[in-house]
Amino acid sequence: MIGRSNLFLSLVALFGLVSASATFPRRVLNRDLETVLTYDYVVFGGGLSGLVVASRLTEDLVLLIEAGGL
């Protein structure tokens, strides 16, 4: 049986993930790679922390590199 403190921490973590995912843009901007040669930040990996970091830095030009397939 899950203790109350574990249940509370799980709910807090779930709320954090849901609220963080709500800040991600809903569309992907396709840019020609030849026109953008420099970036302010490069984030490797689009896992939970990588996506949060990229989302927080979107005021600048950010390149997010993910190794997933389509």
What's the pLDDT tens digit per position in 11-66?
777 666 666 555 555 555 666 655 666 888 888 877 777 777 877 777 778 877 87
Q: Where are the alpha helices (DSSP H) in 1-70?
A: 4-21, 48-56
Other residues' Cβ atoms within 10 Å of the Cβ of residue 43 = 19
pTM higher than the cut 0.95 = no
What is the dihedral angle through the alpha carbons of 44, 45, 47, 53, rounded to the nearest 10 degrees?
Answer: 20
Token readout for 52 is: 């949060």
